[in-house]
Structure 1
Amino acid sequence: MVIYFYKVYESYGCFSNFSPHGIFLEGEYWQTVEHYYQANKFLGTKDSVVIPIIKAATTPEKAASLGRDRTRKVRPDWEEVKCSIMRQAVLTKFLTHSDIQKILLATGEQQIVEKSPTDYYWGCGLDNTGQNNLGQILMSVRQEIRERKTVSEIQ
């Protein structure tokens, strides 16, 4: 069976980067993974002035909109680092919130797919031909948490 997720209010909505599960990374609190991810696009650039605005955005939708503004210039290494930044934020989210960690672990070995009709990079896209990178990250995080739990049980 494949587990699909997309909207926060739907089944497995806690897998969405828009879910209301804050994270503490690099000495700062972020309301959602989406806030953190979008702000990281501008680290070290002339457009870094938008970072506190993204951080303070009242919703993850607003943070996403600010981060997707094509008039701003993202950091030159963005394509190389965006997956590792996303993975760190997602891992932190599921290590921080035990309630959703249990949901993630309960998925067993099932494939996890972001059912975004428009995103062919993070999701599967309208025709299921997308790369599903967010789903891949979630499955990787699930495995890492399992391994960490096994190690802590042995010690």
Structure 2
Amino acid sequence: MAIGFYTTKDEYGEFSNFSAFGIELDGQWYPTSEHYFQAQKFEDAGYCEKIRLAKSPMIAARLGRSRKVRIRGDWEDAKIDVMRTAVRKKFATHAELAKLLLSTGEEELFEVAPGDYFWGCGKDGSGQNWLGQILMEVREELRNEIES
């Protein structure tokens, strides 16, 4: 069996980057992991701050998807590690989320994002599901921490 998630209102919606679980990274507080992820796309400090302070993760995502400001040159190489950093920090910061993630056992986790074939599974399930893969990595890391 597998566990899918997408919107914050769904079961396991806490796994969404839009869920309201803030993280502190690089000495800054981000309201959601989405805010952090989107801000990391840019070198322009003012624009990064605008994203960090966005009133919602949807606005942060919209700002991050804009190409009016140039994204950093290494973004395609860095984005998976940036997401991994954000997700690790989210589950390290919020014990209730770590417990929820561990409760999924060995189930495959996947983001049911019909329009996203990179982070999600896409409309037909053929997507790369990188967000789900990272969640499963973090789950394994949490499990190993408990056992050691």
Question: Which TM-score band (shorter chain)?
Answer: over 0.9
Q: Which runs of 5+ in 1 are unaligned?
A: none
1:1-155 aligned at under 5 Å gives the runs 1-43=1-43, 47-151=44-148
Q: What is the deviation of 1:48?
A: 3.5
**Deviation digits for residues 73-99 of structure 1, max 9, x if unmatched?**
110000111101100110110011011
**Deviation digits for residues 17-71 of structure 1, max 9, x if unmatched?**
000000011111110000000000003xxx4421111011000000000000022
Give, in whole Å, the separation in 1 of the partners of 2:140 and 2:91. 12
Structure 1 consecutive aligned stretches of length 4 or more whose deviation exceeds 6 Å? none
Equivalent pairs: percent with the same residue? 50
Number of matched residues? Answer: 148
Give, in whole Å, the separation in 2 of the partners of 1:88 and 1:80. 14
- TM-score when normalising by structure 1: 0.93
Q: Which runs of 5+ in 2 are unaligned?
A: none
Aligned-residue Cα RMSD (Å) equals 0.8
3-state SS in 2 of match to 1:4: strand
